[in-house]
Amino acid sequence: MSEHHEPEYEDSGIPQPYHLVAPSIMPLLGAFAAGTLAVGMILFMHKIKLVLGSFTFEFDSKVLILGAIAVLAVMFYWWKDVIKEAYIEKLHGPLVKIGLRYGMALFIASEVMFFVAFFWAYFSSALYPVGGSWPPKGIQTIDPFDLPFVMTVILLLSGSTVTFAHEALVEGRRKDAIQALGLSVFLGILFTCFQVYEYMNGHFGFKDGIYPSTFFMATGFHGFHVLIGTIFLIVAWVRTAKGHFTKDSHFGFEAAAWYWHFVDVVWLFLFTSVYWWGSGPQAPMH
């Protein structure tokens, strides 16, 4: 009677084309972090206070900051685990990469629907305005060919440098890819700085009516995506410098590039519809 042998196990499990991820607490922590951030935003925007007898606690931005730190921490440790799986443990084979591509594509599709909702709210208000005019009377919009046009050029240029970095990586020119990615990160940060300046020097506030509300929700949500995309590019930049990517295996970089191009396209829609098509009496930026 022949002796029965158990299948030989490796550190990463039985050799197979699939990837069964190890149990992780990161999804649960991510949900709590995102929930804390959302609650913090509500408490901060509505200036909610906790009153218990003679004790009054003003939340201000405390919960918001805590939630933001928690989200960044989860992003860091979760990405660290994924990079370990891909680069050190070599668990991301061809079939796994196909799944990752589908996952990233579906994620971007879900993000598209977010912006569909914001554009729907904007066009619903613009095409059927209460009071008969859009923008509403008393609203001085921002000149689209002032700062917004500069921001458009910056974002489109960053998309070009990301594409150049991808081509350089495919052709094995890692030094050029690193330089192009570094420039992309700089342009992303520059765009965010200009948007903060625009918000600080605008002639209307978030609570000044339907136009400011739709404007800040659409452009602010996009600005948040630019911030996330910039972090995404920074991770890809560091990994490229460390030699994690090869010309045949670099999906981590491709995912960042997809996301960044999505941010570019959304901004073009924002510029043409919100800044240009929906412009009225304009006030220069100071």
User: What pLDDT digit, counting tens, does each position of 84-121 carry?
Assistant: 888 887 878 788 888 889 999 999 999 999 999 999 99
Residues 87 and 100 grouped into a single domain:
no
What does the DSSP 8-state code read for residue 284? -
If asked whether residues 123 and 54 sit together in one domain, one would say: no
Q: Which residue has the tokens 């911030």?
A: 227
pLDDT of residue 7: 42
- Tell whether 146 and 250 lie within a shared domain: yes
169 and 77 co-located in one domain: no
Model-level pTM greater than 0.85?
no
242 and 154 within one domain: yes
Question: CA 16 to CA 7: how far, in whole Å?
Answer: 12
Tokens representing 147? 């700062």
- Assess whether 7 and 148 both reside in one domain: no
The pairing of strands 55-58 and 49-52 is: antiparallel
Which ranges of the chain have pLDDT less than 50? 1-13
What pLDDT, on a 0 to 100 scale, did the predictor assign at position 182?
95
Q: In whole angstroms, what is the distance from residue 272 CA to residue 156 CA?
A: 14
Do 217 and 127 share a structural domain? yes
What pLDDT was estimated at residue 177? 93
Domain endpoint, select from 61, 91, 121: 91
Considering the domain architecture, whether residues 120 and 45 belong to the same structural domain is answered as no
Q: Answer yes or no: do 265 and 209 share one domain.
A: yes
From 28, 62, 91, give the residue that closes a domain: 91
Q: Are residues 169 and 209 in the same domain?
A: yes
Among candidate residues 67, 91, 115, the one where a domain is terminated: 91
Rounded Cα distance, 79 and 193, in Å:
26
Query: What CATH number is attached to the domain comprising 213?
Result: 1.20.120.80
* Type and span of the H or E element at 52: strand 49-52
pLDDT at 29: 95
Based on the fold, state whether residues 81 and 138 are members of the same structural domain.
no
Domain residues for the domain of 126 are 93-283
Cβ(42)–Cβ(36) below 8 Å: no
222-250: string of b/e by CB count within 10 Å (b at 16+)? bbebbbebbbbbbbbbebbeeebbeeebb
Tell me how many domains the chain contains: 2
Could you tell me what percentage of the chain is helix, strand and coil, using 3-state DSSP and rounding each to the nearest 5?
65, 5, 30
Cα–Cα distance for residue pair 175/173, rounded to 1 Å: 6
Q: What is the CATH number of the domain that holds 6?
A: 1.10.287.70
Q: Encoding tokens for residue 278?
A: 């929906």
pLDDT at residue number 247: 85
> Does residue 157 share a domain with residue 76?
no
Give the DSSP H or E segment for 49. strand 49-52
The H helix count followed by the E strand count for the chain is 7, 4
